[in-house]
Amino acid sequence: MVVDLSKDETGSGYRFEIVASKDGQHFVRFVASNGETMARTETYASKASAKNAIESLKKNGPGAEVVDA
């Protein structure tokens, strides 16, 4: 599920949230069903770029290498 908080949308369960930052840029949070943020992206100048980040995470995340530093 993708929730656009900049449009006052709400959601529950595991979800991606698009958030407007104070300077008008956007970032994405991946939130667990208990409401805790699990991951946050960098900020993007446009909301479209934030949406692209979500699609990239969905596509590339499942096969990504785990590095334990």
Report the pLDDT value the prediction gives residue 6, as an integer from 0 to 100.
Answer: 75
CATH of domain 2-60: 3.30.160.160
Q: Burial, 51: exposed, middle or buried (Cβ in 10 Å; 0-12, 13-18, 19+)?
A: middle
Query: What does the alpha-carbon distance between residue 11 and residue 5 come to, in Å, rounded to a whole number?
Result: 9
Q: What is the mean pLDDT of the chain?
A: 92
Q: What's the pTM?
A: 0.82
**Tens digit of each residue's pLDDT (9 = 90 or more) over 16-43:** 999 999 999 999 999 998 999 999 999 9
User: What is the distance in angstroms between the CA of the first residue and the CA of the last residue of the chain?
Assistant: 31
pLDDT of residue 65 exceeding 80, the answer is: yes
Q: What is the largest CA-CA distance in the chain?
A: 38
